[in-house]
């Protein structure tokens, strides 16, 4: 859950997460 919150205010991380999906 903490990770999800972290990518919330982190566009760069959000993009990486989407790519990983």
pLDDT in tens, 1-21: 555 555 556 677 777 777 766
pLDDT of res. 11: 73
Q: Is the torsion defined by CA of 15, 12, 2, 20 positive or negative?
A: positive
Do residues 3 and 9 make contact, with C-beta atoms less than 8 angstroms apart? Answer: no
Tokens of residue 9, six digits: 């205010």
Give the per-residue pLDDT at 8.
58
Beta carbons within 8 Å of 13's beta carbon, 6+ residues apart = 6, 7
């Amino acid at each position: 859950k903490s990770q999800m919150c972290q990518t919330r205010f982190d566009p760069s991380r959000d993009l990486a997460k989407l790519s990983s999906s």
